[in-house]
């Protein structure tokens, strides 16, 4: 199976189902994934500055700690000036990509988002702006693009409609999520999608649909990370995703999508002290250190035990660079477009 993955970058449905249900030997799998990433991206790991600018969300996803029904969440919004100050600080630290991530917060109208994107582009024309603000109309996505955004992250979460229903309330739909992702691509965005590993009710069959969906979408970035339980959600009793299974999925994705950017996500770091390094060695090639003000960090509480909550941006940058080096790679702050 590994030979076929290396030579064809694909597997049959039956082989994928076997991959998901039978543990693979890790050393050869990770070595193959590492060889493929080095072939396409060398030893570079791209650093993106992440700004979590609002934790207010109109949605109620059953797995997410900032869901609207979590009345214990302490809500915040950054002002335009605070967002721009994060970018200025990030720029001085060398970052050339800013990722603005937030809940689906109606306060941030299209005009407000466009104004923020334009202001960042005006202050730092050599930087790329990535948005991760959820499901919007095609017109909204077009407006953000016209304002200067070029990348958009929106995980599909699961490509299986029955599974999607189990993770989200009735007012959300997989159809709309897919519509968003294909609209974003049609507009010209570099699109990132992905899913949680080990989310409640996930099965080998739902993972198979995730892979086939990603093959149809051809995203520039694929973000995955272990599901981590949050006690203030309906899934409080559900077990978290398993670290080694999650790492094998990263390696599989690297082998199936050699040119994709794959982040070593914060969820990996939150599940294991060296989770990020392990994900890098399994094929990931992006990290997103936090640039949000330390005062709001702990409130962007998607899941429990999230790391880096008390660290100043400069500290995160140094820490991340050391971790990347210790895993055997080189931190790069350039814009770092995907090869897809
Ligand atoms: N565990 C892991 N990842 C989560 N996300 C949301 N809640 C959790 C959780 N409990 C992920 C989702 C979302 C991204 C921003 O964070 O996949 O798209
Ligand atoms: Fe905010 Fe799911 S709870 S997008």
Specify the CATH number for the domain of residue 123. Answer: 3.20.20.70
**pLDDT for residue 25 is more than 80:** yes
Q: What is the pLDDT of residue 293?
A: 87
* Domain that residue 213 falls in: 2-332
User: Does the pLDDT value for residue 322 go beyond 80?
Assistant: yes
- Could you identify the residue written with the tokens 């694909």? 10
Q: Record the tokens describing residue 93, joined without a space.
A: 């630290």
pLDDT band at 148 (very low <50, low <70, confident <90, very high): very high
Q: Which ligand is nearest to the CA of 236?
A: 1
Q: Is residue 166 part of a domain?
A: yes
pLDDT tens-digit series, residues 271-300:
999 999 999 999 999 999 999 988 888 888
Ligand 2 pocket test, pick from 53, 56, 66 with the greatest ligand atom count within 8 Å of Cβ, gives 66
Torsion, Cα 32 37 43 45, to 10 degrees, reads -130
Ligand 1 centroid, distance to 229 Cα (angstroms):
10
Is residue 158 very low, low, confident or very high in pLDDT (cuts 50, 70, 90)? very high
Q: Would residue 339 count as lying in a domain? A: no
286's enclosing H/E stretch is strand 286-287
Could you tell me which residue, 211 or 311, shows the higher pLDDT?
Answer: 211
**Is there a domain that residue 197 lies in?**
yes
Distance from the alpha carbon of residue 36 to the mean position of ligand 2, in angstroms: 34
Asked if the model's pLDDT at residue 2 lies above 90, the reply is yes
Q: What gap in Å lies between CA 85 and CA 74, rounded to an integer?
A: 22
Rounded to the nearest integer, the mean pLDDT of the chain is: 96
Q: Are 231 and 70 contacting, i.e. CB atoms less than 8 angstroms apart?
A: no
Using CA atoms, how far residue 146 sits from 50, 117, 124, 139, 174, in Å, is: 22, 10, 16, 10, 26
Ligand 1 site, CB within 6 A:
63-64, 155, 157, 196, 225, 227-228, 230, 267, 302-303
Residue 337 has pLDDT above 90, yes or no: no
Q: Is residue 338 part of a domain?
A: no
What's the count of helices (H) and strands (E) in the chain, helices before strands? 14, 9
pLDDT band of 243, cuts 50, 70, 90: very high
Helix, strand, or coil (residue 315): helix
pLDDT tens digits, 185-230: 999 999 999 999 999 999 999 999 999 999 999 999 999 999 999 9
Residue 296 near residue 78, CB atoms below 8 Å:
yes
Count: domains in the chain = 1
Beta bridge partners, 52, equal 101
What is the rounded average pLDDT of the residues 70-83? Answer: 96
What's residue 167's pLDDT? 98
Mutate which of 50, 59, 62, 64 for ligand 1? The one with the most ligand atoms within 8 Å of its CB, which is: 64
Which band of pLDDT confidence, cut at 50, 70 and 90, is reported for residue 251?
very high
- Characterise 90 by phi-psi region: left (phi > 0), alpha (psi -120 to 50), beta (else): alpha
Q: How far is the CA of 197 from the centre of ligand 1 (A)?
A: 10
Whether residue 263 is contained in a domain is answered as yes
- Read off the pLDDT of each residue in 148-161 and give the average, rounded to a whole number: 98
Report pLDDT for 314: 80
pLDDT tens figures, 113-131: 999 999 999 999 999 999 9
In angstroms, what is the span from residue 196 Cα to ligand 1's centroid? 7
Does residue 18 have a pLDDT over 80?
A: yes
Give the separation between CA 206 and CA 256, rounded to whole angstroms: 17
Q: What pLDDT score does 214 carry?
A: 98
- The reply to whether 27 falls in a domain is yes
Residue 34 lies in a domain: yes
Asked, for residue 340, whether it belongs to a domain, the answer is: no
């Amino acid at each position: 199976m590994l030979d076929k993955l290396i030579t064809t970058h694909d597997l049959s449905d039956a082989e994928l189902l076997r991959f998901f249900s039978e543990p693979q030997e890790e050393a050869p799998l990770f070595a193959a994934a590492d060889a493929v990433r080095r072939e396409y991206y060398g030893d570079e790991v791209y650093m993106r500055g992440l700004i979590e600018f609002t934790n207010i969300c109109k949605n109620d996803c059953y797995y997410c700690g900032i869901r609207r029904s979590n009345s214990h969440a302490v809500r915040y919004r950054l002002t335009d000036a605070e967002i721009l100050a994060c970018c200025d600080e990030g720029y001085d630290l060398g970052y050339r990509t800013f990722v603005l991530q937030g809940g689906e917060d109606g306060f941030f109208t299209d005009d407000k988002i466009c104004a923020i994107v334009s202001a960042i582009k005006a202050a730092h024309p050599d930087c790329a702006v990535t948005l991760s603000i959820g499901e919007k109309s095609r017109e909204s996505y077009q407006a953000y693009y016209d304002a200067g955004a070029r990348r958009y992250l929106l995980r599909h979460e699961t490509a299986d409609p029955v599974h999607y229903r189990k993770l989200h309330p009735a007012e959300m739909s997989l159809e709309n999520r897919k519509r968003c992702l294909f609209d974003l691509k049609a507009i010209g965005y570099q699109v990132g999608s992905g899913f949680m590993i080990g989310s409640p009710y996930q099965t080998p069959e739902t993972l198979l649909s995730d892979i086939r969906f990603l093959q149809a979408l051809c995203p520039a970035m694929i973000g995955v990370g272990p599901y981590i339980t949050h006690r203030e959600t309906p899934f409080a009793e559900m077990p978290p995703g398993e670290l080694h299974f999650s790492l094998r999925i990263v390696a599989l994705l690297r082998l199936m999508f050699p040119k994709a950017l794959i982040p070593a996500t914060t969820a990996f770091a939150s599940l294991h002290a060296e989770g990020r390094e392990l994900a890098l060695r399994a094929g990931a090639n992006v990290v997103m250190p936090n640039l949000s003000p330390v005062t709001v960090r702990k409130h962007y509480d998607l899941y429990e035990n999230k790391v880096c909550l008390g660290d100043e941006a400069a500290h995160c940058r140094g820490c991340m660079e050391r971790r990347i080096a210790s895993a055997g790679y080189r931190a790069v702050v350039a814009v770092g477009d995907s090869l897809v």
